[in-house]
Structure 1
Amino acid sequence: MGEYVTVNNGQNLYIYRTGQNNKGTIIAAHGLTGNHKQMHFFQQAFSEDYQFISYDVRGRGLSDRQDTNTSINKHADDLVELIETLNIKEPILMGYSMGAYIAAIAASRLSHVKGLILLDGAGEADDTTRDLVIPSLGRLEKTYASAEDYVKETKHLYENLNIHWDTRLEDIARYEIKQVGSSFTHRSDYDLTKQDFESFYTFDIHGVTSSITCNTLLMIATGAMKDNKSLFTEESYHHTRNNIRHLQTEITPVNHYELVFNKQPDVLKHIQQFLTNGGASS
């Protein structure tokens, strides 16, 4: 069920809530240019046992626009506010890509987080990360004559990344855009989204990761995206892996985008085992 939540700092976040709180609540934050629909396979997999809340990070989907001084730290403020507004006592935080940075920062600030799941994020970004991400932001600057034109371009982009295009992906693409007059544009502002991305490079990796006390699962996606390069490497997570006290790390050979846009049974299995076998600390 989709709904708006006005959090304690006055911002409006659009959340999508499913499942029952039998074993706890999972809150999932998506990637840089994504929205709550990006977390579909994870929400589908765990809603039988958990209340699962995915949400549009500000500046994406139907949530409010982000602040002019936007950053992963500001988005973490929103996540903390969301947890407090919904009065969730022991949340399990899940984050993908940018969402992993957001979830990690939030977990470092809160003592009552029950578990943390990092899906290929919260490592050290480098020049390769920038070279792979910045070109993908181009569609945020464009104006399209029709929704179909945007869908067609997005389909081409995703299929080049080994994504299996289907009606679900088309629904995500249509959710990303809005009509302005007779044309269509992306809901996200290019400059502010780029500013969010640049804040990856000021991530306080030592301060944040050393302050995380809950059990944590890190999934690293090593598959190549372009020029035989992955968005992050195992080395990108050197400090993350050394500093988080209770950490389980798993490697998947799929690429960064396949991790969420194609269903990954092995990844879901690792998460289920993490949750079931005491991965989420009590």
Structure 2
Amino acid sequence: MERYVTTNSGRNFYIRETPGENGTIIGSHGLTGHHKQLRHYQEAFSGTYRFISYDILGRGNSGPAPEGSSIDTHANDLLDLIATLEIKRPILLGYSMGAYISAIAASRLSDVEALILLDGAGRADDGTRQLVLPSLERLKKTYSTPDQYVEEARMLYTKLNIEWNQQMEEIVRYEITEEDGVWKHKSDPGIITRDFDSFYTFHPEKILPLIQCSAFLLVATGSIGEKGPLFQKGGYAQTKKWISDLHTEATSVNHYELVFHKQPEIIGQIQAFLSRM
């Protein structure tokens, strides 16, 4: 079921919810993504866990992000959404930027059941910036037809080792809209850049010791093109140091394959982690 939710604080979110009896997982997507980015994970856990994915403010069909948007404000938005939906003992799952958001939210909420970090909440370095910023250029462009945007996205994702299929086309078409006779990305590039810059304000030593639940960290070591992984292995040293109850796994797939391809081995690792809760 997909629907709009207006939170207690007046924010408007677009969510997708699937049923389950073993608790509630709420999933936060990556920097330029939207709820469909977590489709494979939602499908894998649906029926066992209630799973809620949502468009972070400024993405997809959710409301606009504020001018001071950051991983910190998005964490507060997540807490607002959890309170509005009256979710007790949530399992927070975050991918990439969503991992930062989920970690910050977990540090501020005492009844989190578990925290799942999918290649995020590590130290971003200059290599991260060099990989991310060029990919944001498409957000600034306009297109005369949606097909033009889809073709550019297809070429981009194919270079990232992503298999192009009907699901990928659906994901890409969801992120654009028509405005004044042209097609453009739904997100404001200035907001996206500001959100990315806020990765560098993340202080593990101040945030992570406050997390009271067990956590699962998945590190994607696969190279993005010829430039290496998005987050270097050493970038997770502080994450591992400051989360007291942490289980870590690594995968050879790259950052984008982690969500755009089915990952049965990773799903199994998460299921094993949750079964111990």
Aligned to 1:8: 8
State how 1:76-87 maps to structure 2 within 5 Å. 76-87=75-86
TM-score by length of 2: 0.99
Aligned to 1:231: 230
Runs of 4+ in 1 over 4 A off after TM superposition: none
For these two proteins, the number of residue pairs brought into alignment is 277
State how 1:1-282 maps to structure 2 within 5 Å. 1-20=1-20, 22-276=21-275, 278=276, 280=277
Percentage of identical aligned residues: 53
Q: Which amino acid letter does the alignment assign opposite residue 222 of structure 1?
A: T
What does the per-residue CA deviation read over 1:1-37, in whole Å, with 9 as the maximum and x for residues that have no partner? 11111111111011100122x1000000000000000
Q: CA deviation at 1:227?
A: 2.5
**Secondary structure of 1:151's match?**
helix
Inter-CA distance 122–12: structure 2 relative to 1 (3 Å threshold): same
Give distance in 1, aligned partners of 2:19 and 2:137.
Answer: 36
What does the per-residue CA deviation read over 1:231-279, in whole Å, with 9 as the maximum and x for residues that have no partner? 0022110000011011000000000000000111111111111111x1x
TM-score by length of 1: 0.97
Contact 2:159 2:225 in 1 (8 A): no
Q: Which amino acid letter does the alignment assign opposite residue 106 of structure 1?
A: A
Q: CA deviation at 1:182?
A: 2.0
**Secondary structure of 2:210's match?**
coil
Give distance in 2, aligned partners of 1:127 and 1:229.
Answer: 12
Contact 2:114 2:213 in 1 (8 A): yes
Contact 1:15 1:36 in 2 (8 A): yes
Which consecutive unaligned segments of at least 5 residues does structure 1 have?
A: none
Q: CA deviation at 1:206?
A: 1.1
**Secondary structure of 2:211's match?**
coil
Give distance in 1, aligned partners of 2:262 and 2:164.
Answer: 12
Contact 2:127 2:230 in 1 (8 A): yes
Give distance in 1, aligned partners of 2:226 and 2:44.
Answer: 33
Q: CA deviation at 1:208?
A: 1.1
Q: CA deviation at 1:181?
A: 2.5
Contact 1:132 1:226 in 2 (8 A): no
